[in-house]
Amino acid sequence: MGAMIVLGTLTLPGSERCVVHARRFVRDLMGEAHPAVDDAELCTSELVTNAVVHTKSGRGGHVTITVARDGDLVEICVGDDGAGGEVPHVRDEPFAEDGRGMVIVTALAAEWGVEAERGGTTTWFRLRS
């Protein structure tokens, strides 16, 4: 993998409305014709929703979305204000009524990960076109 080229970064207030804006931001940057745009939009929606529901971002904070690419690889990072040490993970509860966001990301992304820092958490995923 070479150097990622940042296509854009957007910071939004951590509210339910920011999910729609994040999805549109990703779609606009990648373009309607990009073969992975639907998967990127869905995974972004899941990560931003997690940030709003499960972190300080949803209680008056912010969510930052960064879209980058390197050839056919697209990387999307979602930064939040942290959740007191908790980080996104795949839940092993098949009959739960919620908690499927990271299962979706795991199924669609080539890879994903979490970087927790003192001031927040960044969850990222990569897709190949």
Burial of 62 (0-12, 13-18, 19+ CB in 10 A): middle
- What is the gyration radius of the CA atoms in the chain, in angstroms? 14
Does residue 119 register a pLDDT over 90?
no
> For position 91, what pLDDT does the model report?
57
Superfamily of domain 5-128: Histidine kinase-like ATPase, C-terminal domain (3.30.565.10)
Q: Global pTM?
A: 0.89
Note whether 44 and 30 are within 8 A (CB).
Answer: no
Q: Tell me: the pLDDT tens digits for 46-87? A: 999 999 999 999 999 999 999 999 999 999 999 999 987 666
User: Percentage of the chain surpassing pLDDT 70?
Assistant: 87
Q: Is 26 helix (H, G, I), strand (E, B) or coil?
A: helix
Mean pLDDT within 13-24: 96
Q: Which contacts qualify for 60-63: CB closer than 8 Å, 24 or more apart? A: 60/14, 61/13, 61/14, 62/11, 62/12, 62/13, 62/14, 63/11, 63/12, 63/13, 63/14, 63/18, 63/22
